[in-house]
Amino acid sequence: MSNLIPPHGGKGLTCCLLEGEALAAEKKKADGLKKVPISPRVKGDLIMIGIGGFSPLTGFMTKADWKGVCDNFLLADGTFWPVPVCLDASKEDAEAIKEGDEIALYDPEGDEIMATMKVTEKYEMTEADKKYECEKVFMGEGIPTPDEFWKVAEEDHPGVQMVMSQKEVNLAGPVKVLSEGEYPTKYAGIYMRPEESRKIFDEQGWREVAALQLRNPMHRSHEYLCKIAVEVCDGVYIHSLVGNLKPGDIPAETRIKCIDALVKNYFVGENVVQGGYPLDMRYAGPREGLLHATFRQNYGCSRMIIGRDHAGVGDFYGMFEAQTIFDKIPKPEEPGKALLCTPLKIDWTFYCYKCDGMASLRTCPHTKEDRVILSGTMLRKGLSEGTPIPDHFGRDEVLDILREYYASLTEKVEIKTHKAATGD
C-alpha cells in the first residue's frame, strides 16, 4: 500500500501509452490513417498524456475545456487544470477531417507516428482567440495591462510566440500513444514515467516528497532550496526538463552532468532522486508553476518547491507571483479534482558574505552589496561572455562542466538580463 499522494484527478494514473500486441496492432492501423504533423510542444504534451504525467487527461482539450482552463483553471468537468493542452492543425488538414475520424499524429522531426487520435471536436482558433489565451495564461503582474503586454510580448516572450504561431484549428479527442520518442534511450536512467518515480519513492519508504523544477544548471541557490526541502520532507525529486528550451539555455545533457556532480559531492544520496520529463518550457510563470505542481503530483510529489520568478521569462511576472497564485486558485470539492500538491514557498535565496553562508530575505538582515545574487540567467550570461563568476555562485565541479560546454560552442546567443536576475 503506497503512502504517497494520489495522482491528480481522482482516477489514478490515466496512461494512454500502448504496449505489446495492442501497440503492434495500432501501429499497423496508423499507417493507413491521415497524418497530421505535430509541433515539438505537442509531442511533449502527447508523451505526458501517454505515460500518465498529465493525468487525468486522456487526450487534447475541447473548446469548453480550453475556455474553462483559460478563464477559471478548470476543465469542463470541474477538474483543476492550469494551462491549455491543445492540438493545433492547419485549416487544410482540418477541412479533410470529420468529427469521428481517426488520425495519426506525426512527428516530422523524428519522422515517426507518435499516436492515433479519434477526433471528437474541431474548433477554429482565430487571432483573437490566440491573443485571449496569451493574456489569460502569460500576462502577469510584471506587465499587467494588455496594451503594455502586447508592446513586448510577441518579440520577447517565447510562450506567446509559440501560441501566436499555432495553426488555425484545434482538434480535440482521446489518444492512443505509440511512442515516447527519443527520451527513453537519449536520457536512459534519467527520463522516468510517473509509475517509475512512484515505485522508487515507495521503495525508499517516502511519504512527503518535494519536487525541484530545473531548466537551468544547479547553482548554489538550487542546492540550498533542495537542502531545505530535505530537512522538512522525506526526500527531494530533482526533476529536470529534457524537452526544448529557448535559444541560449543550456541543454539537458550538460545540466544532468551538473546535477550528478552536485549530488555526488554535496548531498546524502539516499535523500535525493534525479529524474527528467519530456515537456517544452512554456515560460508561463505562475500558471506554469501550477502545471509543475499538477504533474509532479502524478509523479508522487506532495510538495512543489516554488522560489523566486518560477518558470518566468524577462520581466513579465512578479517576483513571487508563482507563489501567491496557489492561494487564489479554485478548490473543487469533488474528490480528486482539486490540486493536492502544495507549494513549498521559499524566499529569494543568495550567498551572504556577512552571514558567511546561504541565506534568504527572511533570514538575512544585510544589504544587497553583501550578497551574491544567484540566478540561472546571470550564470549563463557570465559563462557565455567569459566574465569571471563571483565566488560562492556555483560549486567548482559544476562551473568546470559549464565552462567546458561554453568553450565548445561555435555560436553564442546574447543573454538578456532582467530585474529578477539582477536583484533590481
- Annotation says 271 is catalytic: no
Residue 373 CA from chain centroid, whole number: 24
Strand partners, 191: 276
Q: What is the pTM of this model?
A: 0.93
Superfamily name and number for 20-125+166-179: Sulfate adenylyltransferase (3.10.400.10)
Q: Which one from 216, 244, 271, 298 is the annotated catalytic residue?
A: 216
- Residues in the chain, pLDDT under 50: 421-422
pLDDT value for 248: 75
Tell me how far apart the alpha carbons of residues 57 and 69 are, in angstroms, rounded to a whole number: 13
Q: Which residue has cell 477531417?
A: 97
Q: Which one from 41, 193, 215, 220 is the annotated catalytic residue?
A: 215
Tell me how far apart the alpha carbons of residues 259 and 273 are, in angstroms, rounded to a whole number: 11
Strand partners, 103: 34, 117
CB atoms within 10 A of CB 340: 16
Q: What is the pLDDT of residues 158-179, one digit of tens each?
A: 999 999 999 999 999 999 999 9
Q: From start to end of 48-92, where are the E strands?
A: 59-60, 87-89
Domain with CATH 3.40.50.620 in the chain: 189-422
Tell me how far apart the alpha carbons of residues 351 and 348 are, in angstroms, rounded to a whole number: 11
Q: 126 with 203: CB under 8 angstroms?
A: no
- Please state whether beta strands 169-177 and 87-89 pair in parallel, antiparallel, or not at all (unpaired): antiparallel
Q: What is the pLDDT of residues 235-273, one digit of tens each?
A: 999 999 998 877 777 889 999 999 999 999 999 999 999
Q: What is the pLDDT of residues 89-115, one digit of tens each?
A: 999 999 999 999 999 999 999 999 999
Domain with CATH 3.10.400.10 in the chain: 20-125+166-179
Tell me how far apart the alpha carbons of residues 352 and 206 are, in angstroms, rounded to a whole number: 33
Which CATH number is correct for 189-422, 3.40.1440.10, 3.40.50.300, 3.40.50.620, 3.90.226.10? 3.40.50.620
- Annotation says 403 is catalytic: no
Tell me how far apart the alpha carbons of residues 193 and 130 are, in angstroms, rounded to a whole number: 31
